[in-house]
């Protein structure tokens, strides 16, 4: 590729959204970091560095960004920053309540002679909410049933926000910012080309203007964000509810992380991921579709003017299977409690286990 001149340097910002293979993309980017740098794209070596840059935007602290821009300039590179939570952060207003954080970042970059290109992956709300719920339950972050979770998200202002105009409307007002919105696992890509199962890493790489040969040389990685299955979801809910009642402090810090690992290991050992959780039924689907119908249509007009929402996602919605959120029969209640006890006993300190289980 032609390396950037000082007046042409670009910050590529991969902003998620959540549950669009961001972890896979980030792991593959880092595995190929040296190759990318040789082809004019610098990126932080560790996720913590991307997180620090994201937090710096929230704090309106330009110094961490300035340091990374200088590193890129020294290496004659563009800069790539990837964090899925940026989709839920950049649309919020700065402390002055006048401009979105995304505009603040773009203005700072422009004053330094840098351009901004935003790359987002867009998922239909039905499959997104089902997947996001599973993730949050597995992380012991929520303990509500799926219907209640969806109702809360629809009301707005949650960590699972998925109204696309809310998330990305700030870009509509900024024509100077280059932006690409890629339909995730859809029938077509953002250019209207037919796709079966597009690789999101390759889709992002295309937007970085990397040579085809460099993309072909990129090493692959395995996916690690596996759903724990409907039984794993039920177990996580049971553990969360039990500990909130008997020992809430076990749900914070390293304890919470170890419990999550225990749930994942038990799910894998028992083959639970083979039956993924699905909380969607016709009533919930219709509720979600009605809520986001007009916003999705407006999003298409602004970002995909030659395509409709149904053209991109209708077949995915039609293929959603019958719900299986009733995870354990009453007769299996004893088995669920035995699994709960085993995960707690194996992953918490003995002192805490003694207090909880006796």
Per DSSP, 93 falls in state: B
Residue 22 has pLDDT above 90, yes or no: yes
Q: Note whether 317 and 124 are within 8 A (CB).
A: yes
Q: How confident is the model at residue 253 (pLDDT cuts 50, 70, 90)?
A: very high
Q: What is the pLDDT of residue 318?
A: 52
Instruction: Indicate whether 285 pLDDT > 60.
Output: yes
Rounded to whole angstroms, the Cα distance separating 128 from 143 reads 18
Alpha-carbon distance 43 to 86, whole Å? 16
pLDDT at 121 over 80: yes
Provide the pLDDT for residue 6. Answer: 47
SS3 of residue 12 by DSSP: strand
Residue 4 has pLDDT above 70, yes or no: no
Helix or strand (DSSP H, E) at 116: strand 115-122
Counting every residue written for the chain, the total comes to 358
Residue 326 has pLDDT above 80, yes or no: no
- In order of 1, 72, 76, the CA distances from 5 in angstroms are 12, 11, 8
Q: Is the pLDDT of residue 187 over 90?
A: no
User: Which percentage of the chain shows pLDDT scores above 90?
Assistant: 81
- Quote the mean pLDDT of the chain: 91
Q: Mean per-residue pLDDT for 320-349?
A: 78
pTM (global) more than 0.85: yes
Q: What is the DSSP string of 247-283?
A: -GGGGSHHHHHHHHHHHHHHHHHHTGGGS------HH
Domains of the chain plus CATH, in order, are 10-123+162-217 (3.40.50), 136-161+227-358 (no CATH)
Those residues whose C-beta lies under 8 Å from the C-beta of residue 342, and which sit 6 or more positions away, are 266
Q: Which of 17, 18, 14, 19 is nearest to 30 (CA)?
A: 14
Check residue 317 and give its pLDDT. Answer: 54
Under 8 Å between Cβ of 86 and 22: no
Question: What is the arithmetic mean of pLDDT over 192-219?
Answer: 89
DSSP letter for each residue of 24-90: HHHHHHHHTHHHHHHTTEE--SSHHHHHHHHHHHHTT--HHHHHHHHHHHHTT-EEEEE-GGGGGTT
Identify the weakest region by mean pLDDT among 49-53, 133-137, 191-195.
191-195
The pLDDT of residue 223: 72
Residue 208 · residue 146 · CB < 8 Å = no
Average pLDDT of the residues in 149-167: 94
pLDDT average, residue stretch 332-342? 89
What is the average pLDDT across 333-342? 91
- Give the confidence band of 209 by pLDDT, cuts at 50, 70, 90: confident
Model confidence at 111, pLDDT cuts 50, 70, 90, reads very high
Q: How confident is the model at residue 158 (pLDDT cuts 50, 70, 90)?
A: confident
């Amino acid at each position: 590729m032609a390396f950037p001149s000082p007046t042409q340097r670009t910050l590529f910002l991969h902003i998620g959204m959540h549950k669009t293979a961001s972890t896979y993309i980030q792991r593959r980017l880092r595995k190929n970091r040296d190759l990318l740098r040789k082809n004019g794209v610098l990126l932080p070596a560790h996720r913590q560095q991307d997180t620090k840059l994201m937090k710096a935007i929230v704090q309106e602290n330009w110094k961490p960004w300035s340091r990374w821009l200088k590193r890129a300039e020294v290496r004659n590179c563009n800069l790539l920053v990837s964090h899925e939570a940026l989709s839920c952060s950049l649309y919020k207003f700065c402390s002055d309540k006048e401009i979105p954080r995304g505009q603040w970042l773009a203005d700072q970059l422009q004053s330094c002679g840098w351009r901004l290109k935003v790359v987002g992956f867009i998922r239909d709300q039905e499959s997104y909410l089902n997947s996001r719920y599973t993730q949050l339950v597995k992380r012991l972050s929520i303990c509500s049933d799926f219907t209640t979770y969806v109702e809360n998200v629809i009301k707005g202002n949650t960590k699972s926000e998925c109204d696309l105009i809310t998330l990305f409307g700030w870009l509509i007002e900024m024509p100077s910012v280059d932006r690409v919105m890629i339909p995730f696992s859809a029938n077509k890509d953002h250019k209207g080309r037919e796709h079966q199962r597009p690789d999101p890493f390759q889709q992002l790489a295309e937007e970085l203007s990397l040579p085809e040969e460099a993309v072909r040389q990129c090493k692959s990685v395995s996916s690690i964000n596996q759903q724990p299955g409907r039984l794993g979801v039920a177990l996580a809910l049971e553990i969360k509810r039990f500990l909130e009642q008997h020992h809430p402090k076990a749900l914070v810090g390293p304890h919470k992380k170890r419990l999550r690992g225990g749930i994942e290991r038990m799910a894998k050992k028992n083959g639970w991921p083979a039956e993924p959780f699905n909380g969607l039924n016709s009533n919930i689907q219709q509720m979600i579709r009605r809520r986001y119908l007009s916003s999705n249509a407006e999003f298409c007009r602004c970002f995909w003017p030659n395509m409709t929402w149904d053209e991109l996602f209708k077949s995915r919605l039609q293929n959603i299977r019958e719900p299986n959120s009733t995870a354990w029969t009453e007769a299996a209640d004893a088995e669920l409690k035995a699994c709960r006890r085993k995960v707690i006993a194996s992953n918490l300190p003995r002192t805490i286990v003694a207090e909880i289980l006796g």
